[in-house]
């Protein structure tokens, strides 16, 4: 994933997100501080397995954000989704939240059991994510 696509997904690229210049400056000051902490964190060594698992989990989360943005652009609320699809979104989001919170601190790597479980879960989740994307983008019929 590219940083530009992440920012576009998160902020929509509209420029209408802030009420005034002070709000804009405060947000970007906070973002700058967070990015400095991320850069410092990235300098710490980490195993390739953990790094790959984190990246794959972030890709799942970004896919969910894309799906939700698409639904929003079509004026479809979560309450309008079939229950089965809503449960898939909730399950995928819960997996991402749990996994990313466990990978949040590089100085405290997760235990091996969690790493094995996360790898297995991703193998199971990715086909379900593909199915969810296909269902939302091509089969729901709200174009």
What digits encode the pLDDT tens for the residues 45-60?
778 888 899 999 999 9
- Quick one: 60 and 13 in the same domain? no
Burial category of 70 from C-beta neighbours within 10 Å (exposed 0-12, middle 13-18, buried 19 and up): middle
- Quick one: 36 and 83 in the same domain? no
Predicted TM-score (pTM) of the model is 0.69
- Quick one: 59 and 115 in the same domain? yes
**What pLDDT, in 10s, does the model give residues 69-124?**
998 888 888 888 889 999 999 999 999 999 999 988 777 888 899 999 999 999 99
Enclosing domain of residue 102: 46-143
- Quick one: 34 and 85 in the same domain? no
- Quick one: 108 and 119 in the same domain? yes
pLDDT at 129 over 80: yes
The number of distinct structural domains making up the chain is 2
CA atoms within a 13 Å half-sphere pointing along the CA-CB vector of 86: 8
- Quick one: 50 and 25 in the same domain? no
Predicted pLDDT of residue 93: 96
- Quick one: 35 and 93 in the same domain? no
């Amino acid at each position: 994933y590219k940083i530009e696509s992440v920012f576009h997904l998160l902020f929509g690229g509209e420029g209408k997100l802030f009420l005034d210049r002070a709000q804009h400056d405060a947000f970007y000051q906070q973002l700058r501080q967070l990015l400095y902490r991320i850069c410092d964190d990235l300098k710490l060594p980490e195993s390739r397995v953990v790094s790959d698992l984190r990246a794959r989990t972030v890709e799942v989360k970004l896919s969910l954000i894309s799906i939700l943005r698409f639904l929003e652009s079509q004026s479809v609320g979560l309450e309008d989704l079939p229950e089965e699809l809503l449960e898939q979104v909730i399950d995928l989001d819960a997996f991402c939240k749990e996994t990313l919170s466990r990978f949040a601190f590089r100085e405290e790597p997760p235990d091996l059991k969690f790493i094995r479980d996360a790898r297995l879960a991703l193998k199971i989740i990715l086909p379900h994510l593909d199915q969810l994307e296909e269902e939302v983008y091509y089969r729901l019929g709200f174009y």
